[in-house]
Chain A
Amino acid sequence: DAGVIQSPRHEVTEMGQEVTLRCKPISGHNSLFWYRQTMMRGLELLIYFNNNVPIDDSGMPEDRFSAKMPNASFSTLKIQPSEPRDSAVYFCASSLQVAGLDTQYFGPGTRLTVL
């Protein structure tokens, strides 16, 4: 099993530019989560999907952030326009929503630097 795949692993961009982060969940999983990790705020849940439908996006910091899951094997997190305070590591995680099998499996993350 390849695990959760994220791309790119590192992204450096300038303020104002659009950034798109990508995630491929584990095959067969039906829940997908986007997290942001910073030293100051720790791990923050941004949004999560069940069966490709966004369930809770209350963690999305601003309208500049948007996420989509067009199918069960792909999701994107977009920041437009990006700002320096968006610099963080962004993680995608997936799980199988079946009773007794809640475990979330994390990808390696995308380290975003906005200059």
Chain B
Amino acid sequence: GENVEQHPSTLSVQEGDSAVIKCTYSDSASNYFPWYKQELGKGPQLIIDIRSNVGEKKDQRIAVTLNKTAKHFSLHITETQPEDSAVYFCAASIRTGNQFYFGTGTSLTVIP
């Protein structure tokens, strides 16, 4: 089955700096890669996703890049704000309707 690894497990940045979280996957058949943000006491919420036919996607301060050859994808958050502090999860999925394979999460702290 698919194996998703996520790094780093914890990340602290100064407010206004950028944060980068990286994930690798093992199954070249994976074609959908969502990112979730989980705040304390809440369920994971989708923040951005990318499909294998796209190399990069951006939504305001958040961007995701995908390298299919190397089987890795990354989340980039620019101009970080304290409200960006949360746990972020990457995931990979092989096909529509199938299960997601989640990374182990990155705890991001943005220091004011």
Residues on A facing B (Cβ under 8 Å): 4, 31, 33, 42-43, 45, 48, 50, 56, 91, 93, 95, 97-109
Residues on B facing A (Cβ under 8 Å): 32, 34, 36, 42-46, 49, 51, 89, 93, 96-100, 102, 104-105
CB distance from B8 to the nearest CB of A (A): 15
Chain B contact residues: helix, strand, loop or mixed: strand
Q: Which of A45, A91, A108 contacts B99 (CB 8 A)?
A: A45
> Residues of A contacting B43 with CB < 8 Å?
4, 91, 93, 106-109
CA distance A93 to B93 in the complex (A): 15
* A43-B102, A98-B96, A104-B100 given; 6 more Cβ-contact pairs under 8 Å: A33-B99, A42-B104, A45-B100, A93-B43, A97-B96, A109-B43
> Residues of B contacting A98 with CB < 8 Å?
96
CB distance from A63 to the nearest CB of B (A): 21
CB distance from A75 to the nearest CB of B (A): 15
Decide if A42 touches B102 in the complex (CB within 8 Å): yes
Q: Can you give 13 A-B contacts (C-beta < 8 A)?
A: A33-B99, A42-B104, A42-B105, A50-B97, A56-B99, A91-B43, A91-B44, A98-B96, A101-B96, A103-B34, A104-B100, A106-B43, A109-B42
> Residues of B contacting A97 with CB < 8 Å?
96-97
Decide if A102 touches B93 in the complex (CB within 8 Å): yes
> Residues of A contacting B97 with CB < 8 Å?
31, 50, 95, 97, 102
Decide if A106 touches B99 in the complex (CB within 8 Å): no
Q: Which of B46, B49, B51, B93 contacts A105 (CB 8 A)?
A: B46
> Residues of A contacting B104 with CB < 8 Å?
42
